[in-house]
């Protein structure tokens, strides 16, 4: 499978756009998110006080606490992307396999890229990338499976 994935080669322009997107997603935390986090933490403290004082029952406290904690978790800034590694992977996608050892992560990525993979005796014979990825693979790699007639007919 690595042969097929290694042939994934976005254009230089697309690589630049992808890296710009990764950089913007890794931008520092903005003031609005910090303010919202501060508000939620204050609400959590007030909620804890109400529970400790006996003003609200435990079930209500737990439900409200979990809702606030869920929103707080969504406000945590994402860790910055390793842009140099991302650039190298976009140039040579085979590097992904060298750095990612988790089989499930690899499988998930392949399911995102490929619509079909054909095997013959355990060897990959052809692949069909999903439409969004098809332009990034060469025509030789993206061939359709040859039709095998399960009921062969004698030559006429």
Query: In this predicted model, what pLDDT tens digit does every residue of 57-67 receive, in sequence order?
Result: 999 999 999 99
Q: Taking Cα atoms as reference points, which of 126, 109, 116, 122 lies closest to residue 3?
A: 126
94: pLDDT strictly greater than 80: no
Query: In this predicted model, what pLDDT tens digit does every residue of 20-42 receive, in sequence order?
Result: 777 665 545 677 888 888 999 99
Specify the pTM: 0.41
Sign of torsion over alpha carbons 142, 112, 116, 4? positive
Identify the three-state secondary structure at position 150: coil
Mean pLDDT of the chain: 74
Q: How far apart are CA 116 and CA 126, in angstroms?
A: 8
> Which DSSP letter does residue 143 get?
P
Query: In this predicted model, what pLDDT tens digit does every residue of 113-129 receive, in sequence order?
Result: 778 888 788 777 777 87
147: pLDDT strictly greater than 50: no
Residue 141 has a pLDDT of: 43
Q: Taking Cα atoms as reference points, which of 118, 123, 124 lies closest to residue 144?
A: 118
DSSP string, 78-91: PPPP-HHHHHHHHH
């Amino acid at each position: 499978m690595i042969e097929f994935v290694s042939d994934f080669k976005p254009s230089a322009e697309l690589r630049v756009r992808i890296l710009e997107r990764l950089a913007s997603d890794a931008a520092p935390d903005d003031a609005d998110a910090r303010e919202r986090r501060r508000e939620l933490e204050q609400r959590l403290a007030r909620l804890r006080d109400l529970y400790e004082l006996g003003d609200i029952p435990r079930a209500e406290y737990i439900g409200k606490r979990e809702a606030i904690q869920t929103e707080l978790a969504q406000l945590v800034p994402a860790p910055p992307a390793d842009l140099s590694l991302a650039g190298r992977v976009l140039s040579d996608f085979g590097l992904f396999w060298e750095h990612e050892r988790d089989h499930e992560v690899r499988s998930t990525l392949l399911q995102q890229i490929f619509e079909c993979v054909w095997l013959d005796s355990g060897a990959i014979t052809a692949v069909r990338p999903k439409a969004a990825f098809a332009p990034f693979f060469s025509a030789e790699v993206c061939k359709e499976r040859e039709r095998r007639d399960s009921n062969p007919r004698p030559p006429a």
